[in-house]
Amino acid sequence: MLPPRRDVGASPKARRQPRAAVQRSEELAMQELRLLALSLVAGTTLMAIEEARPQSTEPSMTRTPPAQSHPYVGIWVTNDGHIRHQLLPDGRYDESRGSRKSAYRGRYEVRGKHIDYWDDTGFTADGEFVDENTLHHGGMVFRRAP
């Protein structure tokens, strides 16, 4: 068996430099792996937290809408009477369609003459109050119910 080869003529310092460079490279690679592992763990943890969070079919029920002061509280009906919106003073609404009562529920906010709706299922819509008795919403005209 032959003895291990030695670099003839190279100083001990010269032989150590490549090993030191390799060691630094390995240290950097390990740091990168640690960072990658941390980011994967953090991402997985965030996804697990999001998945573990209770999912409600009524997201707006978890947040109490602010009480609003506006002149549009009440019942609004399409000309054919098929759709009825009840705008409640607590910022919630209840929509009936035909014989189906409470077909949609959610929260709403009025800013000036503009209204935004957030349905409990996640649907959003908006509308404009043309005057104190007329609401344009979703391509339909609603009138204030007497």
Q: What is the pLDDT of residue 60?
A: 42
Q: Domain 59-144 maps to which CATH number in 3.40.190.80, 2.40.10.10, 2.40.128.290, 3.40.50.970?
A: 2.40.128.290
Residue 117, CA distances (Å) to 13, 38, 78, 96 in order = 75, 41, 17, 15
Q: Dump pLDDT digits (tens) for 19-38.
A: 666 667 777 777 776 665 55
| Domain residue ranges in the chain | 11-53, 59-144
Q: Dump pLDDT digits (tens) for 60-118.
A: 444 445 556 789 999 999 999 999 999 999 999 999 999 999 999 999 999 999 999 99
